[in-house]
Structure 1
Amino acid sequence: MTQTPVVTRFAPSPTGYLHVGGARTALFNWLFARGRGGKFLLRIEDTDRARSTPEATAAILKGLEWLGLDWDGEPVSQFAGKDRHAEVAHKMLENGTAYRCFSTTDELAAWREANPRQPFISPWRDAADLPDAPFAIRLKAPRSGETVIEDQVQGTVRVANDQLDDMVLLRSDGTPTYMLAVVVDDHDMGVTHVIRGDDHLTNTARQIQIYDAMGWDCPVFAHIPLIHGEDGKKLSKRHGAVGLHEFAALGYPPAAMRNYLARLGWSHGDDELFDDAQALEWFGLEGIGRAPARLDFKKLEHVSGHHLGAMPDEAALAALQHYLAETGAPALTDTQRGRILAAMPALKDKARTLPALLDQARFAMIDRPVQPDDKAARALDTVSRGMLKSLTAAVQNASWSRDDLEEAAQKVASENGVGLGKIAGPLRAALAGTSTTPSVFDMMTALGREETLARLQDQTDLAG
């Protein structure tokens, strides 16, 4: 017997930015499908015409692309399928699993005010004499027994049918409701696994009733825990970044975000740091817990630093250039790229984000004459400039290997009766203009002989 290929979907509403929780849901769906040779589909749930915008759709697509999640086929517009949704509602009328409801908005409001805790059952449910008037189509839901959700994360969830109302499938103006549209779309798209936030769990019993009414097989459901802030409360702007675009702007590499988001609510033993190949091999619904995950920025920085350090130097340079382009900064020149690439192993060693990498690379991006900041300038007094002059002479004919440069600096320091740190400070100021930099010898090798000597000469000339 051939096993049905896995098909998952991510179905965001284009009413705003892509929330980090939505990005995590998309990632789980992507990992589950791709790890099993299946398909990952994208559906834009744009039935709320008043709030859905093309800009939000574009932002969602851009966010998924930045995160590195590719989808199969073209994104599906839920609104575009409204005729198909209406067709299914009318089929349910024909097979007796739905009925026409002529109750007006005022009548519904009056009933709910009088019966605030009871599910609404329309007086038209079993009516035979129907008027010639506008009507909504309601599901003729079972009134006894229970609807059972066999959820892969939450376990068995039972809902008494007498606690559910006969929900509207098609409004009186002919527009489908969200509940109907979701079920029809998932069925028509061949979705085998619905992996979504557990805030949708309450909808699932109603959606199962639609599947049953149409005689369709239900997909496998897996409702994943939501993401909370570090204080255990629902994630909101007060916790800092919550939109995926904000994490991109903070300079976390996409590979790090994939690793970190995968670990929010899912685990594989004690593994914290892993690459895409490992995530695709390991990811499964059985590893998802029920408790809300907590966003921890310190842990994210740790993961980010690991992935930045593991990047090939060329890839790290490409990521840095992309980050600069996204922030509107000038593109790197060929000279700057060459210097940064030469220093990349040292730059990656201390940086945990792309902005931090950029700070470390500042020495490679500035032009002569270097203008030291206030703190760095304090290291450039007459004595220290004299040592720099001696160092300039000592390294004129050095091989320009890191070891030879360090040996020359150590010799100059000893001749002046000071430790290496006393010459490193002014050397750092002369080369980078700041006190926070990579190793001075890494900077010298990256800048090369000519540029290094020129920067040192600029400062020693001030010694008189």
Structure 2
Amino acid sequence: MSLHSVRVRFAPSPTGPLHLGGIRTALYNYLFAKKHGGTFILRIEDTDRKRFVDNSESYILETLKWCQIEPDEGVGYGGSYSPYYQSKRGNIYRMYIDKLLRKGHAYYAFDSDQDIEKKRKEYNHNGFTFSYNSRIRMSLNNSLTMTKEQLHDKLLSCSYVVRFKIKPGEKLKMYDIIRGTIIVDTDYLDDKILLKSDGFATYHLANIIDDYLMKITHVIRGEEWIPSMSLHVLLYRALDWTPPHFAHLPLILKHNGKGKISKRNIDNLNYPIYPIQWKIPKTKIIIPGYRELGYSPEAFVNMLALLGWNPGVEKEIFSLQELISFFSLERIKKYGVCFDIKKASWFNKKHLKKEDVFAFLFEKIQTRSILCKKDYLWKVIHLTMDRIHFIHEIWEHSFYFFISPSFYEANFFSKICHENTIDQLDQAKTLLCNININEFTSLNLKFLFQKTKNKYKIMQLFRLALVGVLKGIDIFIILEMIGKEESIRRIEKLMNQIKEKI
């Protein structure tokens, strides 16, 4: 098969928002398709109507768009293999159900939920695990144990499901691109339901029919589907179809490696697991995603790509086009990978663009009616850029270049509220006043204050006066940037605050 004919699909269920594992599956499918000039398809697998959640579909589409990994075909994009909703393909599935029944690969089962539960309790009581399989199916209420006349009457009067008939006694050999050869003993497989009592096909049947009819060449999905792989391969065989290539992705684990990240444990996590915000339909509670917390799509996708895949080079920062160029299924890890939120924010820092930070800061000072030359603004960004991980943090780390601090660090301020501090500030202020404005540079200021007594204490007082807290860039650069007059004004302001306190 030519790799130029690659067709892959991302097939989420509309049962809520995508989490990190789901969107990573979409990303890997997208990267693989683009690497080989193939087609990336979006299909909605909505046969489980009981778990349907409003707004899930629009969330999926918006997430893919934000991540810049939009499909070439499928829901919202059109294509030659519509409909791309499983719920609208019932007649197609029924046709193949009938084929499986005719060929003896499937059978009708009339056992009620109560019947099954009773059997399960019986088995549990005797220390066994109940499984609807080749060992016991002939003792249950299904078409394999009935005459044609009995079956006809049952079909007219009772609800039923259709089950796949597993042939025992085979060591089924399968191949996974990531994990290699997998062998399963069919004696231990149960007869899965293919058609539910509500008339909807199950995921197992619908997905293999859709994959075949939509000419899917590679099925790239999470490792939670490995136990279902044998059933899917057997279904392909029963329908006389060649199965696609399979690749099962490793789990994304919590940072401590204990358990996978999932929507079920979101309340116990102190970091986001959704790409974009999700509004819970019933409560209207909004759960923020990476987008709302300030991550760029480029950084998010870069982080996600390396969460289970190794490009084979030391480089870690990639554009989307570079990820496409480097990507291969063979370099995906077999085992679970731990998620690290600190690493995620580091990726965002590395993807920050000075132009975007400039635009944000420019808008910030405009809303405050602060007049500022663009050259000055660029200098501020160059001085503070390495201190931030997110664009919205720039104001916190640069406000003192534009406005006087509105408060002082409480603990340090209370320690310096005495006459001696006022004397020290007054002497330092006098030194600044005596410097020619043309010589008011960081180098000159540094040289001048190196000769003063209590140099370290004076620098702390200056920082408190100019910034309000004991952090920030080199204090002499701040003095030069804001200028002589503003520096003196802020020192006087601190002196007055101390005087009021004492």
SS at match of 2:435: helix
2:305 to 262, 266, 275: 262
2:470 paired residue number = 435
State the one-letter code of the partner of 2:227: T
State the one-letter code of the partner of 1:243: I
Structure 1 Cα separation of the partners of residues 368 and 105 of structure 2:
65
TM-score, normalising length: structure 1:
0.81
State the one-letter code of the partner of 1:371: F
Structure 2 Cα separation of the partners of residues 334 and 193 of structure 1:
57
1:125 aligns with 2:151: no
Structure 2 Cα separation of the partners of residues 210 and 333 of structure 1:
68
2:220 to 195, 198, 216: 195
1:243 paired residue number = 273
Is 387-396 or 64-73 further displaced after alignment? Answer: 387-396
1:78 paired residue number = 86
SS at match of 1:361: helix
Equivalent residue runs for 1:299-318 within 5 Å = 299-305=343-349, 307-308=350-351, 311-317=352-358
Q: Is the 8 A contact 1:430 1:456 kept in 2?
A: no
Q: Percent identity over the alignment?
A: 28
Return closer, same or farther for 1:318/1:81 CA change in 2, 3 Å cut-off. farther
SS at match of 2:228: helix
Structure 1 Cα separation of the partners of residues 104 and 493 of structure 2:
95
Residues 307-359 of structure 1: CA deviation (Å, up to 9, x unaligned): 14xx331134468899x9xxxxx978785895655422232212234465453
Return closer, same or farther for 1:407/1:281 CA change in 2, 3 Å cut-off. same
RMSD (CA atoms): 3.7
**Following TM superposition, by how much is the alpha carbon of 1:393 offset from its aligned partner in structure 2, in angstroms?**
5.9
2:492 to 457, 460, 463: 460
1:371 paired residue number = 407
Structure 2 Cα separation of the partners of residues 293 and 319 of structure 1:
35
SS at match of 2:173: strand
Return closer, same or farther for 1:270/1:453 CA change in 2, 3 Å cut-off. same
2:81 paired residue number = none
TM-score, normalising length: structure 2:
0.75
Structure 2 Cα separation of the partners of residues 427 and 394 of structure 1:
16
Is 178-187 or 284-293 further displaced after alignment? Answer: 178-187
Q: Is the 8 A contact 1:183 1:211 kept in 2?
A: yes
2:57 paired residue number = 57
2:193 paired residue number = 168
1:295 aligns with 2:327: no
Equivalent residue runs for 1:68-217 within 5 Å = 68-75=68-75, 76-94=84-102, 96-114=104-122, 116-120=129-133, 121=137, 123-125=142-144, 127=146, 128-129=148-149, 130-132=151-153, 133=156, 134-217=159-242
SS at match of 2:21: helix
State the one-letter code of the partner of 1:359: E
**Following TM superposition, by how much is the alpha carbon of 1:151 offset from its aligned partner in structure 2, in angstroms?**
0.4
**Following TM superposition, by how much is the alpha carbon of 1:63 offset from its aligned partner in structure 2, in angstroms?**
3.7
State the one-letter code of the partner of 1:5: S
Residues 383-408 of structure 1: CA deviation (Å, up to 9, x unaligned): 2354245436636345xxxxx62123
**Following TM superposition, by how much is the alpha carbon of 1:223 offset from its aligned partner in structure 2, in angstroms?**
0.8
Return closer, same or farther for 1:221/1:448 CA change in 2, 3 Å cut-off. same
2:243 paired residue number = 218
Structure 1 Cα separation of the partners of residues 23 and 367 of structure 2:
29
Structure 2 Cα separation of the partners of residues 344 and 94 of structure 1:
72
Residues 33-87 of structure 1: CA deviation (Å, up to 9, x unaligned): 2222222223333333333223343444444444343322353443343443334
Unaligned segments of structure 1, at least 5 residues: 325-329, 399-403
Is 367-376 or 279-288 further displaced after alignment? Answer: 367-376
1:384 to 422, 425, 441: 425
Is 161-170 or 78-87 further displaced after alignment? Answer: 78-87
Return closer, same or farther for 1:4/1:160 CA change in 2, 3 Å cut-off. farther
SS at match of 1:196: strand
Structure 2 Cα separation of the partners of residues 108 and 34 of structure 1:
47
1:5 paired residue number = 5
SS at match of 1:92: helix
Return closer, same or farther for 1:285/1:390 CA change in 2, 3 Å cut-off. same
SS at match of 1:148: strand
State the one-letter code of the partner of 2:100: M
Return closer, same or farther for 1:367/1:65 CA change in 2, 3 Å cut-off. farther
Q: Is the 8 A contact 1:370 1:432 kept in 2?
A: no
Structure 2 Cα separation of the partners of residues 68 and 333 of structure 1:
35
Residues 420-461 of structure 1: CA deviation (Å, up to 9, x unaligned): x5554344334332222233455567x665xx7436424336
State the one-letter code of the partner of 1:264: L
State the one-letter code of the partner of 2:73: G
SS at match of 2:441: helix
Residues 363-402 of structure 1: CA deviation (Å, up to 9, x unaligned): 35x745743332574679422354245436636345xxxx
Residues 7-40 of structure 1: CA deviation (Å, up to 9, x unaligned): 2222333333322222322222222222222222
Structure 2 Cα separation of the partners of residues 336 and 70 of structure 1:
40
SS at match of 1:131: helix
1:352 aligns with 2:396: no
State the one-letter code of the partner of 1:285: L
Structure 2 Cα separation of the partners of residues 59 and 462 of structure 1:
51
Unaligned segments of structure 2, at least 5 residues: 76-83, 124-128, 276-288, 497-502
State the one-letter code of the partner of 2:219: V
Q: Is the 8 A contact 2:4 2:38 kept in 1?
A: no
Structure 1 Cα separation of the partners of residues 270 and 399 of structure 2:
27
Q: Is the 8 A contact 2:252 2:337 kept in 1?
A: yes
Q: Is the 8 A contact 2:219 2:245 kept in 1?
A: yes
Return closer, same or farther for 1:167/1:4 CA change in 2, 3 Å cut-off. farther
Structure 2 Cα separation of the partners of residues 26 and 333 of structure 1:
44
Q: Which has the larger radius of gyration?
A: 2
SS at match of 1:259: helix
Q: Is the 8 A contact 2:247 2:329 kept in 1?
A: yes
Return closer, same or farther for 1:83/1:354 CA change in 2, 3 Å cut-off. farther
SS at match of 1:125: helix
Q: Is the 8 A contact 1:8 1:40 kept in 2?
A: yes
